[in-house]
Amino acid sequence: MKLQKKENNKNIDKITDKEAEEAIVKIFKWMGEDPGREGLIETPKRTVKAFKEYFKGYHEDPVRLLDKTFSDVEGYDDMVVQKNISVQSHCEHHMAPIIGVAHVAYIPNERVVGLSKLARVVEVFSKRLQTQERLTMQIATTLMKALDAKGVAVSIDATHQCMTMRGIKKEQATTVTNYYLGQFKEDLSFQNRYLRFIAK
């Protein structure tokens, strides 16, 4: 993951907060707004601060979150399922919010990871410009590799505001993506049990 991040960013010039704020002022002018009016004077600075939170995943390594595992599990070898992990991301096509929930499961291979780490991996990848399909796969492949798991399943059910607020404007539409690896892909009994668990 570190290598991929480095390759993705090696040709990107470092932009200062000030330069980012100036870009937002230009967008205001393009919109037809007066960036000097009282309500907008501090907005560029606040927007940059908000963007640092929205997109902090670019500066975090999800693999490192999974470094610490525990082997004292007394032979537990069934799936671990974490449901209803909140997802807040932004689509890479319109930078509109993606809001939903993720469900994550893995089958340990002698070692387990702290439960909070599963949600943190979801958050790291969510805090980047995304497509839901890629987000689902990134979470799954990272957990599979970092934990040396016997299997991983990830599902995301989300609303895309690029579809509800603009374009086709279908407010009730949600998108569901699933990705299975290892035993979840090879053995439908695991996959079916997982789907029953997350449906409850």
Among 90, 91, 130, 138, which one carries the catalytic annotation? Answer: 91
Q: Is 172 a catalytic residue?
A: no
DSSP tag of 187: -
Enumerate residues 6+ apart whose C-beta is below 8 A from 70.
111, 112, 113, 114
Q: Is 82 a catalytic residue?
A: no
Instruction: Tell me how far apart the alpha carbons of residues 177 and 139 are, in angstroms, rounded to a whole number.
Output: 12
Q: Is 94 a catalytic residue?
A: yes
Q: Is 90 a catalytic residue?
A: no
Among 60, 82, 88, 92, which one carries the catalytic annotation? Answer: 92
Among 59, 93, 133, 186, which one carries the catalytic annotation? Answer: 93
Q: Is 161 a catalytic residue?
A: no
DSSP 100-153: EEEEEEEE-SS-EE-HHHHHHHHHHHHSSEE-HHHHHHHHHHHHHHHHT-SEEE
Among 33, 60, 94, 161, which one carries the catalytic annotation? Answer: 94
Q: Which two tokens stand for residue 140?
A: 């799954």
SS3 content of the chain, % helix, strand, coil (to 5): 45, 25, 30
Among 21, 123, 138, 160, which one carries the catalytic annotation? Answer: 160
Among 130, 132, 138, 183, which one carries the catalytic annotation? Answer: 132
- Residues with a known catalytic role: 91-94, 132, 160, 162
